[in-house]
């Protein structure tokens, strides 16, 4: 007598079967988007803006440590910091594909106002 062929042992469902790979299908569960593009834009724009803003802050700190008799250098560093602040706002808006010229550019002048106050107080 021959024995019946043994059935192959079935793998548990939580393990992957290398002989039969399955792709997970993501289904839309609501009105939200499934795209990574908006998240990537926000991460990139915040990263770019904060990096440039840190540069502007470093220029303000440098202006604070310039000798008191070099008023021109102190003002100049604060103006350059303001230019970088405006560039940070423009980079943020460019990544989100918005108009570059807008009232939001006034936020870029914060390093100038804060820097002049910190430098000459």
Q: What is the mean pLDDT of residues 44-63?
A: 96
Centre a 10 Å sphere on the Cβ of residue 77 and count the other Cβ atoms it contains: 23
pLDDT digits (tens, 9 = 90+) for 17-51: 777 777 776 666 666 655 788 889 999 999 999 99
User: What's residue 9's pLDDT?
Assistant: 74
Q: What pLDDT, in 10s, does the model give residues 79-114?
A: 999 999 999 999 999 999 999 999 999 999 999 999
The domain ranges of the chain are 53-119
Neighbour tally for 109: CB within 10 Å: 15
Residue 65 pLDDT: 95
Residue 27 and residue 104: Cα distance in Å, rounded?
A: 38
Q: Which two tokens stand for residue 55?
A: 């540069």
As a whole number of angstroms, the distance between CA 88 and CA 55 comes to: 10
The pTM (predicted TM-score) of the whole model is 0.69
pLDDT at 7: 75
């Amino acid at each position: 007598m021959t024995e019946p062929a043994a059935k192959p042992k079935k793998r548990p469902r939580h393990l992957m079967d290398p002989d039969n790979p399955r792709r997970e299908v993501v289904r839309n569960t609501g009105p939200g988007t499934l795209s990574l593009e908006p998240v990537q834009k926000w991460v990139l724009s915040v990263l770019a803006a904060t990096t440039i803003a840190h540069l502007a802050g470093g220029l303000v700190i440098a202006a604070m440590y310039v000798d008191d008799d070099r008023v021109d250098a102190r003002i100049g560093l604060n103006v350059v910091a303001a230019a970088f602040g405006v560039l940070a706002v423009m980079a943020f808006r460019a990544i989100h594909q918005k108009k570059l010229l807008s009232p939001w550019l006034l936020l870029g002048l914060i390093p100038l106002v804060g820097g002049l106050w910190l430098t000459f107080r």
